Amino acid sequence: MIIKYKPEDFYVREIFDIKKFEKKDEGRDFFYFILKKRNYNQIRALKKISRIFNVSVKRIHFAGTKDKIGVTEQVISINSIKENEIENKLNIINNKVKDLNLKYIGKYKGRINLGDLEGNYFEIVIRDLKNSDIKLCKKNIKDIKKDGLVNYFDKQRFGYANNSHIIGKLIIKGKIKEALIEIFTSLPENPSEDLKEFVLNFPEGLEDKNSLKFIIKNLPKNMREYQKVIEHLLKYTNDYSGAFRKLHKKLRTLYVNAYQSYLWNLTAKKLKEENVNLKEIELLGYNTNLENLLYKDIILDLLKKENLNLNDFKISHMPELSLKGSKRNFKIYPKELEILEIGKENLDNSESYFIKVKFILDSGAYATNVITSFFTKK
């Protein structure tokens, strides 16, 4: 099975109700756009837009993170820009920046936020399939329409090196130095040569100034945003919390949320194994109430194995990252799930099948989780 063989194989478009934007009232003007990108990292895209509009990237807001590999459409809002310059800036982006397109949709009195989306529409092509895969996919799609599937957080939630949850746990437990080392020594599945070399020669600690200078000098290009972390340690020895706070708050929050998501996945997996069907499962936090919870013993066992208690989520050394706790739907039911096309092709000189599907997911659900379920034997 291959997804994202080419960017056009993975298309996603945010679904929104413009009336939600019209009701906003924060007292400031925010200009809304639809950002379409092809095979383009989201952070890189936002930085490009910020430079052209001559505004800090912090002034650009979005409701959801979109994959790099694919063709994606999402809503963004920008404040502190001049309305009379919008048309000219759009011409620059749409005519001179490859694989980016920006469409102006209106001016509203508030920024876009996480809960503003209705969901996401997907059209996805899965390639390199056998005839048996096609039969399994057809059967599983019928079952998913009837019974739904577990709403797991997928690998995107856990970072490019699949270790964001490990970093998150270190933060929660107050091991900020260890968390920083984990960040700097993370290796993805297929790392670049300069990243492999950097990690191989990474110093043992973060206390020695010569070691810190070595890190700055040898930082790979895709890690330049972390330079300010090391610069802080050069100036303030052993102030790991201060150094960690040099990272954008969204990124810092992502780490602790990843650990919370990891715990949710473990809980959901256990409930599925025991054939327990619930509407929602707790995303653990310091405010989670375990009393009268049907699966209380599962949670307590999990916390014991993780050497954790619920009060740990009230992160006293970094209170802005504290996790109050919430709930997440145990199952999802993709809307408008349909096979659009099935065919044969020669992929890399080997004959195989492909299948094209479409579906709509609520915000926070993962398309790759759905795709995996198409080809999972039960």
Q: What is the pLDDT of residues 261-294, one digit of tens each?
A: 999 999 999 999 999 989 999 999 999 999 989 9
Residue 342 three-state SS: strand
pLDDT digits (tens, 9 = 90+) for 8-52: 999 999 999 999 899 999 889 999 999 999 999 888 899 999 999
Mean pLDDT of 323-328: 96
Please identify which of the residues 67, 143, 297, 348 carries the catalytic annotation: 67
Please give the Cα distance from 352 to 360 (Å, whole number): 27
> Is 9 among the catalytic positions?
no
Do 99 and 61 share a domain, yes or no? yes
Do 167 and 141 share a domain, yes or no? no
The parent domain of residue 170 ranges over 156-332
Do 231 and 340 share a domain, yes or no? no
Please give the Cα distance from 111 to 26 (Å, whole number): 8
pLDDT grade for 224, boundaries at 50, 70 and 90: confident
Total-model pTM: 0.86
Structural domain total, the chain: 2
SS percent in the chain: helix, strand, coil, step 5: 45, 25, 30
Do 3 and 49 share a domain, yes or no? yes
Beta strand spans in 17-116 (E):
30-38, 60-62, 71-78, 100-108
Do 184 and 250 share a domain, yes or no? yes
pLDDT digits (tens, 9 = 90+) for 60-111: 999 888 888 999 999 999 999 999 999 999 999 999 999 999 999 999 999 9
Do 56 and 107 share a domain, yes or no? yes
